[in-house]
């Protein structure tokens, strides 16, 4: 008899990884296809050729990951996803074996909407009722002040400011900022300065018992394009030239130190290593492991 029931969704996108005594859980927020225009200096035909060579679709798929960090029973979520009714973080946190109320801290790499809008439900209320929100002080100051808009008539830019402010609004009194000089804004998680994509964009390094993991935020949006052509800027970069310098510095750091890395827009779960070639970089994915 033919099978009539067909799968309609993927299994929960959750992956656990031990970093010494710390449990890190990659949690997918899903993904979406975006137009090619953000790569504004790259000819679209050349971009399509790069994607074709890597068996990627055009326009490219933007995957989004978030990370649960369990340090001695204290649970921190790095980035909250896009929310707006179609992000998958809240559902996948539960699939990972935690409850939303378990999360004590939401630590933000930056305040773009695909990283911070998941802090709230579609009605504007808190998605993480017991959490403290922790964000770089430069990042917080930039997005909370509308005078920082480069072009107030630009609806996309204005929308980013409005969404950042709305995402943080219900957490008033539960927001803590940190400076780049602080070693650990959250115990067990070290801040790494990584500006350019946004003014206070921050990467995070987790170290435990000789193991290390670098969660680098938005150093890359499309690995196929930006590892091959690390000078490629994005329209979403607030300071594009600084973003390029930061990208190369972080990639060099990861390659030289042979760090295990992951990022918010690498293919889920993103764990792997960076190898430096003469004029470009290569992401070497870590093998999937059924054991912690």
Domains contained in the chain, CATH given:
14-285 (3.60.15.10)
- Gap between the Cα atoms of 186 and 78, Å rounded: 11
pTM of this structure? 0.96
- Gap between the Cα atoms of 24 and 133, Å rounded: 19
Residues 6+ apart with CB under 8 A from 200: 110, 135, 136, 137, 138, 139, 140, 141, 142, 180
**Which of helix, strand or coil describes residue 282?**
strand
Residues 6+ apart with CB under 8 A from 70: 22, 23, 24, 25
Tell me: pLDDT of 1 over 80. Answer: no
Residues 183-236 have pLDDT tens digits of 899 999 999 999 999 999 999 999 999 999 999 999 999 999 999 999 999 999
> How many other C-beta atoms can be found within 10 angstroms of the C-beta atom of residue 52?
12
Structure token digits, residue 220: 């890359």
Q: Is the CB of residue 252 less than 8 Å from the CB of residue 9?
A: no
Q: Is the CB of residue 77 less than 8 Å from the CB of residue 196?
A: no
Radius of gyration of the chain (CA): 19
The label of the residue with tokens 């070290």 reads 190
Residues 89-122 have pLDDT tens digits of 999 999 999 999 999 999 999 999 999 999 999 9
Sign of the alpha-carbon dihedral angle for 277, 281, 287, 289: positive
Segment 51-74 mean pLDDT: 96
- Gap between the Cα atoms of 35 and 59, Å rounded: 5
Please state the φ and ψ torsions of residue 198, each to the nearest 5 degrees: -135, 165
């Amino acid at each position: 008899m033919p099978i009539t029931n067909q799968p309609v969704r993927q299994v929960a996108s959750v992956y656990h990884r031990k970093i010494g005594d710390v449990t890190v859980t990659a949690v997918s927020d899903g993904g979406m296809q975006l137009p090619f225009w953000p790569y504004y200096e790259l000819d679209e035909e050349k971009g399509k050729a790069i994607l074709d060579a890597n068996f990627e679709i055009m326009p490219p798929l933007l995957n989004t990951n978030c990370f649960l960090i369990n340090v001695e029973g204290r649970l921190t979520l790095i980035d909250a996803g896009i929310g707006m009714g179609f992000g998958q973080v809240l559902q996948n946190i539960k699939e990972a074996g935690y409850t939303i109320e378990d999360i004590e801290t939401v630590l933000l790499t930056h305040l773009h909407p695909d990283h911070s809008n998941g802090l709230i439900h579609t009605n504007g209320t808190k998605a993480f009722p017991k959490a403290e929100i922790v964000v770089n002080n430069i990042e917080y100051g930039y997005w909370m002040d509308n005078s920082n808009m480069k072009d107030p008539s630009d609806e996309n830019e204005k929308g980013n400011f409005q969404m950042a402010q709305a995402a943080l609004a219900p957490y008033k009194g539960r927001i803590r900022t940190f400076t780049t000089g602080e070693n650990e804004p959250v115990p067990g998680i070290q801040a790494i300065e990584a500006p350019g994509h946004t003014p206070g964009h921050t990467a995070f390094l987790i170290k435990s018992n000789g193991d290390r993991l670098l969660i680098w935020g938005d150093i890359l949006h499309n690995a196929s394009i930006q590892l091959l052509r690390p000078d490629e800027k994005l329209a979403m970069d607030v300071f594009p030239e600084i973003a390029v310098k930061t990208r190369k510095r972080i990639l060099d750091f990861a390659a030289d130190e042979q760090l295990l890395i992951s990022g918010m827009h690498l293919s889920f779960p993103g764990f792997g290593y960076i190898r430096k070639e003469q004029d470009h970089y290569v992401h070497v994915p870590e093998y999937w492991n059924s054991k912690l």
